[in-house]
């Protein structure tokens, strides 16, 4: 980095220059920081050719016309200009005023510095021979880049002012090619059509014939895709890239590639956390981890790193406050994961859903086992992510859902945070991880040979006792089958299958329903042609469906047993929670009607409104229609022939609300080859 600073100073030291220099580097790599903290101070503190230089910095970000640049220069050079100074300036013939002074005069008029019939000696006023101009963010200007460079050339070529341009040439190149694409395509298409090279009836994907010159000077016709023809025409007519290269060759004498010296920059980045001594001590102690994770991101974007460390500040402070005794290895893991996830998401290296779909550390580990043990390529990204960022840092804590959620959504969800951290604390308190969990979440080669037999024995005991979740049985069976194929396990397949079936039958009583088996398996393909595996898979599906029914019954019971005594609590959750559960299917409608009749009149209205609100959000009534009709029929039978009372009138309204729900969610009629929606019949004609 010092060599680059010295090269820039060599340019400043030259008594005569008619060119600018360029500092080129990626976005977020710290170019502006380098200018402010290394180059600027060095120029202004060094006496060059018997004088001290003053730097004038201007960001071109968002500049929409060249006058804005003039305004910026004028204001930077004259922050305290006023009418008193103007009166003591000498007059001079305007014809001798250099280019930069003409810019200043226009601005002086704009700011009211000059009055009618007055002349100002701008050469004395500006004294540009001791100034160094720095133009940053060239690629982010909203003015044509060619025009900006032509404007800057006035300072450099005519007035020999030392000028430094900072930019990202890679993004500049993209910008030159991508501006006004629709207009360029329209004009190119029009020209090609006028020349007869595009016929209106020709399909877009049909190749056209075009003439080229051969090596012997003859002309020949070749087939060329229409898209390529249009692109070639655009390049021929609107060759801004070549214009840029021509003016750059004239204006820029040297281009320096900026590659950040990270160890220098990290100290400046960390200084912002000095208000929290505990945090900055932790960050400085683990600076090597920060550098390592940054390097492994494959980018030079310091801006993303700064954002990641800002996020980590909240994560660190919240973790230390809520879990003061958390292990140091957990905090280090949090640091690595926060930086890694920030780069993966914000640098556009991965779609957000790749990490969004993983809900826990355990699920993350199981995906890794699947991708390595089963050679599953569907989760290739997760395996590469883990290998990249945790290659030399050994930790059991390599995924934090609350961090991923925070980086992706900008919402720090305290419930997810506590779920993650409670699981880690519980894991540390237990001390001993069950053997089957090790097989499900660890790479098998991490198991020592003298441990393996004991782990298998303990695993089979837990399998037999029904201690696993149903979906864990399925995945574990596939893993043990792999061990058998590798010759690591000598066990009778029929015995193994029977042990798993009996264990699964016991586990079904306490297992939770798994609604996304593929996601849990991490993409592991179930070998349907293996009779033993397909049998276990089928048995799992049957038991899983039974578990689903049981869970749905419990959810329905939980909801409807809040009526009548806990109707206020029901109002908080009914229209939002478990919308995917067909609760009406799993509850007795006669019992529900009896509960409704126990409500006071005001609560009947509330419950009816809750039903309407819920079914406005439910997609269809595929599994609930029958019971909704039964509830409606029960109400109709109750009110039939009764003298109207307030409750009777309210039940009539309830019946109409149920009718509307049934009508709105009426299924689509299926005809031959197409779908046709059943026309709704007006109420009076029904």
Instruction: Please write the tens of the pLDDT for every residue from 324-363.
Output: 989 899 999 999 999 999 998 887 765 556 788 888 888 8
Instruction: Please give the Cα distance from 266 to 258 (Å, whole number).
Output: 16
pLDDT at residue 226 in the model: 67
What average pLDDT does this structure show over 154-179? 79
Instruction: Please give the Cα distance from 304 to 281 (Å, whole number).
Output: 22
Query: Could you count the other beta carbons within 10 Å of the beta carbon of residue 232?
Result: 14
Among residues 579, 669, 573, the alpha carbon closest in space to that of 616 is found at 579
CA 328 to chain centre: 28
The residue that leads in pLDDT, 33 or 545, is: 545
Query: DSSP labels for 84-135?
Result: HHHHTSPP--GGG--HHHHHHHHHHHHTT---TT----HHHHH-GGGEEEEE
**Structure tokens that stand for 126 in this block:** 């500006």
Residue 15 to residues 18, 45, 50, 56, 161, Cα–Cα distance (Å): 10, 18, 11, 19, 11
Q: Is the dihedral of CA 486, 488, 491, 496 positive or negative?
A: negative
- Residue 162 β-bridge partners: 132
Among residues 166, 123, 122, 172, the alpha carbon closest in space to that of 145 is found at 172
Instruction: Please give the Cα distance from 614 to 509 (Å, whole number).
Output: 30
Instruction: Enumerate residues 6+ apart whose C-beta is below 8 A from 429.
Output: none
**Helix ranges, 347-448 (H):** 353-356, 361-373, 380-389, 401-409, 414-430, 435-441
Are the beta carbons of 30 and 260 closer than 8 angstroms? yes
Query: Could you count the other beta carbons within 10 Å of the beta carbon of residue 381?
Result: 17
pLDDT at residue 675 in the model: 46
Q: Is the pLDDT of residue 677 over 80?
A: no
**Helix ranges, 220-327 (H):** 226-237, 240-251, 262-270, 277-285, 287-296, 302-322
What average pLDDT does this structure show over 647-672? 83
Query: Could you count the other beta carbons within 10 Å of the beta carbon of residue 119?
Result: 14
What average pLDDT does this structure show over 524-544? 82
pLDDT at residue 198 in the model: 65
Q: Is the pLDDT of residue 53 over 90?
A: no
Confidence tier at 206 by pLDDT (50, 70, 90): very low
Token look-up 């849990």 returns 520
Instruction: Please write the tens of the pLDDT for every residue from 236-251.
Output: 555 555 667 777 787 8
Q: Is the pLDDT of residue 586 over 80?
A: yes
Confidence tier at 587 by pLDDT (50, 70, 90): very high
Does the pTM of the predicted model rise above 0.75? no
Helix (H, G, I), strand (E, B) or coil at 466: coil
Query: Could you count the other beta carbons within 10 Å of the beta carbon of residue 161?
Result: 22
Q: What torsion do the CA atoms of 404, 405, 410, 412 make, to the nearest 10 degrees?
A: -110
Residue 356 to residues 170, 193, 371, Cα–Cα distance (Å): 31, 48, 18
pLDDT at residue 318 in the model: 96
β-pair type (675-676, 162-167): unpaired
What average pLDDT does this structure show over 459-487? 91
Q: Is the pLDDT of residue 214 over 50?
A: no
Instruction: Please write the tens of the pLDDT for every residue from 541-574.
Output: 999 999 999 999 999 999 999 999 999 999 988 9
Which of 6-20, 98-112, 121-135, 490-504 is least confident?
Answer: 98-112
Confidence tier at 101 by pLDDT (50, 70, 90): very low
């Amino acid at each position: 980095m010092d060599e680059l600073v010295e090269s820039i100073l060599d340019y400043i030291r030259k008594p005569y220059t008619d060119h600018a220099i360029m500092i080129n580097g990626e976005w977020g790599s710290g170019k502006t920081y380098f200018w402010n903290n290394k180059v600027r101070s060095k120029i202004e503190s060094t006496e060059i050719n018997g004088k001290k230089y003053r730097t004038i910095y201007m960001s071109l970000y968002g500049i929409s016309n060249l006058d804005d640049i003039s305004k910026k220069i004028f204001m930077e050079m004259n922050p305290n200009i006023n009418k008193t100074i103007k009166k003591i300036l000498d007059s001079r013939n305007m014809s001798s005023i250099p280019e930069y002074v003409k810019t200043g005069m226009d601005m002086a008029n704009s700011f009211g510095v000059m009055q009618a019939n007055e002349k100002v000696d701008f050469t004395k006023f500006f004294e540009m021979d001791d100034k160094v101009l720095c133009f940053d963010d060239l690629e982010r200007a909203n003015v044509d880049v060619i025009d900006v460079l032509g404007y800057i050339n006035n300072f450099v070529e005519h007035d020999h002012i030392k000028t430094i341009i900072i930019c990202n040439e890679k993004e500049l190149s993209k910008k030159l090619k991508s501006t006004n694409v629709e207009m360029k395509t329209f004009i190119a298409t029009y020209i090609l059509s006028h020349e007869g090279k595009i016929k209106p009836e020709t399909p877009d994907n049909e190749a056209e014939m075009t003439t080229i010159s051969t090596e012997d000077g003859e002309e020949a016709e070749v087939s060329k895709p229409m898209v390529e023809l249009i692109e070639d025409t655009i390049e021929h007519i609107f060759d801004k890239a070549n214009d840029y290269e021509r003016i750059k060759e004239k204006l820029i004498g040297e281009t320096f590639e900026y590659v950040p010296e990270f160890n220098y920059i990290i100290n400046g980045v960390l200084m912002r956390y000095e208000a929290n001594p505990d945090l900055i001590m932790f960050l400085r102690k683990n600076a090597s981890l920060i550098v390592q994770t940054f390097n492994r991101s494959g980018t030079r974007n310091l801006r993303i790193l700064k954002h990641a460390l800002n996020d980590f500040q909240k994560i660190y402070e919240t973790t230390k406050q809520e879990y003061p005794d958390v292990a140091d290895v957990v905090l280090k893991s949090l640091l690595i994961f926060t930086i890694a996830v920030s780069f993966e998401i914000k640098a556009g290296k991965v779609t957000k859903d790749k990490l969004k779909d993983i809900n826990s550390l355990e699920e993350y580990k199981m995906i890794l086992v699947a991708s390595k043990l089963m050679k599953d390529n569907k989760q290739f990204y997760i395996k590469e992510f883990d290998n990249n960022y945790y290659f030399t840092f050994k930790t059991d804590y390599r995924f934090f859902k609350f961090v991923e959620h925070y980086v992706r959504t900008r919402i720090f969800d305290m419930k997810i945070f506590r779920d993650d951290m409670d699981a880690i604390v519980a894991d540390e308190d237990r001390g001993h991880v069950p053997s089957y969990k090790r097989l499900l979440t660890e790479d098998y080669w991490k198991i020592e040979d003298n441990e393996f037999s004991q782990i298998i024995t303990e695993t089979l005991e837990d399998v037999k006792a029904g201690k696993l979740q149903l979906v864990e049985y399925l995945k574990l069976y596939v893993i043990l089958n792999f061990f058998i194929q590798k010759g690591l396990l000598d066990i009778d397949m029929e015995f193994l299958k029977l042990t798993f079936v009996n264990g699964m039958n016991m586990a079904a009583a306490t297992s939770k329903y798994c609604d996304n088996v593929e996601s849990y398996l991490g993409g592991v393909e179930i070998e349907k042609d293996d009779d033993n595996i397909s049998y276990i898979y089928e048995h799992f599906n049957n038991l899983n469906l039974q578990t689903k029914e049981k869970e749905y019954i419990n959810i329905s019971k939980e909801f409807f047993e809040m009526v009548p005594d806990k109707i206020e609590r029901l109002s908080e959750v009914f229209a939002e929670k478990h919308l995917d559960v067909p609760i009406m299917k799993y509850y007795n409608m006669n019992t529900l009607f009896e509960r409704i009749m126990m409500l006071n009149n005001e609560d009947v209205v509330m419950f009816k409104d809750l039903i309407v609100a819920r079914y406005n959000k439910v997609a269809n009534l595929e599994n609930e229609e029958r019971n909704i009709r039964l509830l409606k029929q029960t109400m109709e039978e109750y009110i039939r022939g009764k003298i109207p009372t307030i409750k009777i009138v309210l039940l009539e309204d309830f019946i109409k609300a149920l009718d509307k729900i049934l009508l709105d969610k009426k299924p689509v009629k299926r005809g031959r080859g197409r779908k046709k929606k059943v026309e709704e019949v007006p109420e009076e004609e029904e």
